[in-house]
Amino acid sequence: MLGKTSVSMMVLLVVAASLIGMSSIHQYIEGQAPPAKKPQQLSGVGMVSLVRMFDSPAGKLCTAGLTLQGPNTFGLKAGTDIDLLAPSEHFCTLFILSKIGKMEVGVTAQKITASSLPPAIRGAFTPATTYPLLYRVSEVDI
């Protein structure tokens, strides 16, 4: 049989482990803002209508016009044109190849505003009201 001290030690051990586990769940520092929400990843399939390449201090990137085809998580109807900012030269190459081959391309992207674009790129755009559907690409599927 277990003695009273053994049972007490086991209870103390369980309580200590619970407190340690609870303290590691949320480490909040006073004055610290809550963790920022990750931008929502949206996806869809479409046909590339236009690709524009840029060489800026931030590196080579491009913008692509995409006409959405079928269901998507952008919350937009099929046939809607959106603008994509591709931060990678490789994404740009895939967009160009899909345009040349007249193939559908799948994208995963996050909604951004024109004001978040690098100044060299922002200057190439007309006012932001013309480009309300601007997205930054994180994945391309052909």
CB neighbours of 29 closer than 8 A, spacing ≥ 6?
none
Query: What confidence score (pLDDT) does residue 24 get?
Result: 52
Question: What's the pTM value of the predicted model, to 2 decimals?
Answer: 0.68
Ordered domains of the chain (ranges, CATH): 42-141 (2.40.50)
Segment 56-106, tens digit of pLDDT: 666 677 889 999 999 999 999 999 999 898 888 899 999 999 999 999 999
> How many Cβ atoms sit within 10 Å of the Cβ of residue 87?
16
